[in-house]
Amino acid sequence: MRVDVAAAAEVHAPAAPEAAPADHRAPAIDRPGTLADLPPIPRADEINTDDARALSKVLFRRMAQLEEGTHEYAYVRNTLVELNLALVRFAASRFRTRSEPMEDIVQVGTIGLIKAIDRFDVERGLEFPTFALPTVIGEIKRFFRDTSWAVHVPRRLQELRLDLAKASDELAFTLGREPTAAELAAKLNMPENEVREGLVASAGYTAYSLDAQSDDEESEGSIADRLGEEDTGLEGVLDHEALKPLIAALPDRDRRILSLRFGAEMTQSEIGAELGISQMHVSRLLSRILARLREGMAAETA
């Protein structure tokens, strides 16, 4: 839809301020502090990009004449926001792959748009979209940086995560595999320990729900279902502690045979050669030692 911007900018005779009529005819500023009727301004989504830019310039000049905090100032400011929401949606589309809902991203970007409107000076000759886009994108990036992390990490590490992700993608494409911490450090020209710190911090960006299903095909149920399972290793700890006094009570040669067999993992023949006895003798000694230990364990648990 084409809009007659010149007609929209035309000022009519001053009139007393009135409430907006039902057809939403827009008030216009005759001079600071007064209103005059303007031709109807169509809905923002019915105006094409060129007309929206032209009308925005007119409204920026009028807003500069108004006192901040007045009804007229708020009307012009809100109209500028509506006319330029397409810019926010364009900036938000760059982040459509993020996990946050697009509606939330657009809301954050609108905050950046409002900041840009408040700071824009039309007399500098710069196009408003060129001025506003970095502010809108910066606001969205700050939102992801400050609120999207599952845990709080220093801003330095938040920014390092982005550098690591970019460098990792580039190196993975070149190397055909995931780069090492040393390769990332060389790519970014920073100490390897800082890269490792950044990689650890990156794990705090997202968190998994305890109700999430496991990615392991062999595992069934949620993460919460696998928490608190009985640790079978605890039984081994208890057995180890019960064996300590029993082994300490053995003769030196018996303790040495146990050490060579189960510590050094030597064969019976090798133990026999070490002690100067036959393999058969070592076998009988081991059987006797183990039988004694079993009897001691049985007595402990009785």
- Cross-strand partners of 28: 36
Separation CA 59–CA 56 (nearest Å): 5
Stretch(es) of the chain classified as CATH 1.10.1740.10: 5-147
Give the pLDDT of residue 174.
Answer: 85
What is the mean pLDDT of each successive set of 10 residues along the chain, which is 302 residues long?
45 36 42 45 66 85 87 90 90 81 89 92 87 90 68 70 82 86 89 86 65 61 65 72 85 90 89 90 91 84 65
Is the distance from CB of 76 to CB of 66 less than 8 angstroms?
Answer: yes
Look at residue 136 in the predicted model and tell me its pLDDT.
92
CATH code for the domain defined by 234-301: 1.10.10.10
From residue 5, alpha-carbon distances to 64, 84, 291 in Å are: 18, 16, 102
* Vertex 188 angle, CA 184 and 191, to 5°: 75
Q: What kind of fold does domain 5-147 have according to CATH?
A: Rna Polymerase Sigma Factor; Chain: A (1.10.1740)
- What is 151-206's CATH number? 1.10.10.10
Which part of the chain is CATH 1.10.10.10?
A: 151-206, 234-301
